[in-house]
Structure 1
Amino acid sequence: MSDTAAVVNVAEKLAQFSELWSQKTVAALNDYEVKLAKVKGEFVWHTHDDTDELFLVVSGRLTIRLRDGDVVVGPGELYVVPRGVEHCPVADEETAILLVEPTGTLNTGSAGGPLTRAAEALD
């Protein structure tokens, strides 16, 4: 038997916000958060020293710049950036992404700076 209260409609959640590069927590899984974000433009080069980072593109197209070559991720595709690998997400068009990371992971990893934001819960 399923628990319908736990169903998350990704499209409905994405319609609730418009801010770019602002992660919204929509679910929890063990010690992980499932987050949504809308992105456009270039983020900052950063690493997550203690965790991998999963990017799933819901709509649009995301380029994940890596020092040894770019990875392009389209709708319905995902890519995992291994822990400690420096990366820089870039989107030429507005792109909706779903991320899975340990609870409390900062969006800018070890880089810090003005774009650093904690994820906000989305009802």
Structure 2
Amino acid sequence: MGRVRSIDQEFAAVTEHWSPRVVADLNGQSVKVAKIQGDLAWHAHADEDELFLIWKGSMVIEYRDRPPVRLGAGDVHVVPRGVEHNPIADEECWVVLFEPSETKHTGDVVMSKTKSVSAQRIHLHHQVDGNAS
């Protein structure tokens, strides 16, 4: 039986902008929380769709080939695989992401904000090893 997690507690554990934290895995997908502010980078995910659910705040997803999408608390938007996009939040925004477990959050772009997939989930191993519930 899986443990119960509080989304607000998971967000409280996020200390850096643009640093996704995996909170659950299911069916080859990861559910991640992230706090974002400013812009990330133009990037694409060649083989993965990416779902954004805005928990708190607002953001814009810019596209090169279509109008930008503005999202507020409670809004959901899917960025289709292979589509170049740039997420932007003028003020801190809390986002829940649903994407395949091995998705790199900056696609093939490597930059100072890039956080490896293993770094996004390292705390899960500590919880299992440390019997945290």
Same fold (TM over 0.5): yes
Give the equivalent residue in structure 2 for 1:59: 56
* Aligned-residue RMSD, C-alpha: 1.3
Which residue is 2:131 aligned to?
none
- CA separation in 1, counterparts of 2:76 and 2:5? 19
The one-letter amino acid paired with 2:26 is: L
- Structure 1 counterpart SS, 2:70: strand
The answer for the alignment partner of 1:19 in structure 2 is 16
Matches of 1:110 and 1:69 in 2, distance apart?
A: 23
How far apart are the structure 1 equivalents of 2:34 and 2:85?
A: 17
1:40 Cα deviation after fit: 0.3
Q: Any idea what SS the aligned residue of 2:10 has?
A: helix
> Where in structure 1 do 4 or more consecutive aligned residues deviate above 6 Å?
none
- Equivalence for 1:31: 28
Query: Paired residues, what number?
Result: 120
For 2:21 and 2:34, locate their aligned partners in 1 and report how far apart those are by CA, in whole Å. Answer: 6
Q: Confirm or deny that 1:99 pairs with 2:97.
A: yes
TM-score by length of 2: 0.84
Partner Cα distance (2:51, 2:92) in 1: 19
Match of 1:114?
112
1:15 deviates by 1.2
Deviation at 1:8, TM superposition (A): 2.3
Letter of the 1:15 partner, please give it: A
Counterpart of 2:55 in 1: which secondary structure?
strand
Please list every run of 5 or more consecutive structure 2 residues that lacks an aligned counterpart in the other structure.
128-133
Q: Tell me the secondary structure at the aligned position of residue 6 of structure 1.
A: coil
Residues 60-87 of structure 1: per-residue CA shift (max 9 Å, x gap): 0010001121000110111000001100
Q: CA deviation at 1:44?
A: 0.1
User: Alpha-carbon deviations, 1:80-118, whole Å to 9, x = none?
Assistant: 000011000000010000001111211110222232212
Matches of 2:112 and 2:14, distance apart in 1: 20
Determine helix, strand or coil for the equivalent of 1:50: coil
| Match for residue 79 of structure 2 among 64, 78, 81 | 81
